[in-house]
Amino acid sequence: MAEMSVPQHVGIIMDGNGRWAKKRALPRNFGHKQGAAVFKKTINWARELGIKCVTFYAFSTENWKRPTEEVNGIMNLLRQYIKDIRAAAKEDIRFIFLGDVTALPEDITAELLDIQSSTVNNTGFIAGVALNYGGRDEITRAARILARRVADGEITPESITETSVEELLYTAEMPPLDLIIRPSGEQRLSNFLIWQAAYAEVVFLDVLWPDFTKKHLELAIDEYNNRDRRFGGG
């Protein structure tokens, strides 16, 4: 790939697992398994390209509405990949889990919180994983915290700024979001990092997530470089 500006923080909506499996007359959870394998590869590709942080949209607050068998399959797959996450943590990767992970099965919650705390000092790369996450829920959570602080007399409503909110978001210790990539052909954010996406570039790719490759990541970065980022400056 030609020399170009590399986004420091990329968000990826891992979409298309179910459709990938359906096209092959396979169970949906087989698609999720293939997608999980691409997740691991993408971390390596991102590091090779000089990206410092990638946040993956893995399981939304709305995904609980899916069939119980599918949700249980996703949880079991997450259990399997916790070992891989722990192995990756040894490669100087910090893991940050976005969303209310306490609503996940207790054994998964305990593992994720342990991984997050044990990797807090890793500086080589940040992998954000959004689990039981929703952008509106994230902002609402921050608003509740600020409302309690106002009620307790710790702050005044007039003292609340955008920074006050940003400091309470799950991404508070991540670089600003530069780019969102959504494979699968769908063209919407689906409640993913909606505060952070204010000035991020968005690239939609007509490829299902299990078929996503390093070349697709490079194509998205190429498109990012073709954009004129003005940040509202006209």
Residue boundaries of the structural domains of the chain:
9-134+177-225
Q: Among 31-40, 51-60, 155-164, which stretch is predicted with the lowest mean pLDDT?
A: 31-40
pLDDT (0 to 100) of residue 233: 57
Rounded to an integer, what distance in angstroms lies between the CA atom of residue 162 and that of residue 184? 33
Average pLDDT of the residues in 160-180: 98
Rounded to an integer, what distance in angstroms lies between the CA atom of residue 15 and that of residue 51? 21
Catalytic annotation, pick one of 29, 44, 63, 72: 63
**Average confidence score pLDDT of the chain:** 93
Q: What is the pTM of this model?
A: 0.92
Is 222 a known active-site residue?
A: no
pLDDT (0 to 100) of residue 3: 59
DSSP state of 224: H
Percent of the chain exceeding pLDDT 90 equals: 82
Q: Is the pLDDT reported for residue 2 higher than 60?
A: no
DSSP state of 184: S
Are 66 and 36 spatial neighbours (Cβ–Cβ below 8 Å)?
no
Q: Is the pLDDT reported for residue 157 higher than 80?
A: yes
Q: Is the pLDDT reported for residue 32 higher than 60?
A: yes
Catalytic annotation, pick one of 15, 17, 29, 132: 15
The set of residues, in sequence order, having a beta carbon less than 8 Å from that of 57 and lying 6+ positions away, is: 11, 12, 13, 14, 15, 130, 133, 190, 192
Which of residues 88 and 14 earns the better pLDDT score?
14
Backbone dihedral region for residue 193 (phi beyond 0: left; psi -120 to 50: alpha; all else: beta): left
Rounded to an integer, what distance in angstroms lies between the CA atom of residue 219 and that of residue 2? 11
Q: pLDDT tens-digit profile of 47-91? A: 999 999 999 999 999 999 999 998 998 899 899 888 888 888 889
pLDDT (0 to 100) of residue 232: 59
pLDDT (0 to 100) of residue 189: 97
**What does residue 141 show for φ and ψ, rounded to 5 degrees?**
-60, -45
CB neighbours of residue 37 within 10 Å: 12
Rounded to an integer, what distance in angstroms lies between the CA atom of residue 34 and that of residue 39? 9
Give me the CATH topology for the region 9-134+177-225.
Answer: Undecaprenyl pyrophosphate synthetase (3.40.1180)
pLDDT (0 to 100) of residue 234: 53
pLDDT (0 to 100) of residue 77: 87
Is 72 a known active-site residue?
A: no
pLDDT (0 to 100) of residue 208: 96
Give the pair of three-digit tokens for residue 44.
Answer: 């390596």
Q: pLDDT tens-digit profile of 184-210? A: 999 999 999 999 999 999 999 999 999
Q: pLDDT tens-digit profile of 223-234? A: 999 987 665 555
Local confidence band at 1 (pLDDT 50, 70, 90 cut-offs): very low
Are 200 and 11 spatial neighbours (Cβ–Cβ below 8 Å)?
yes
Are 130 and 56 spatial neighbours (Cβ–Cβ below 8 Å)?
yes
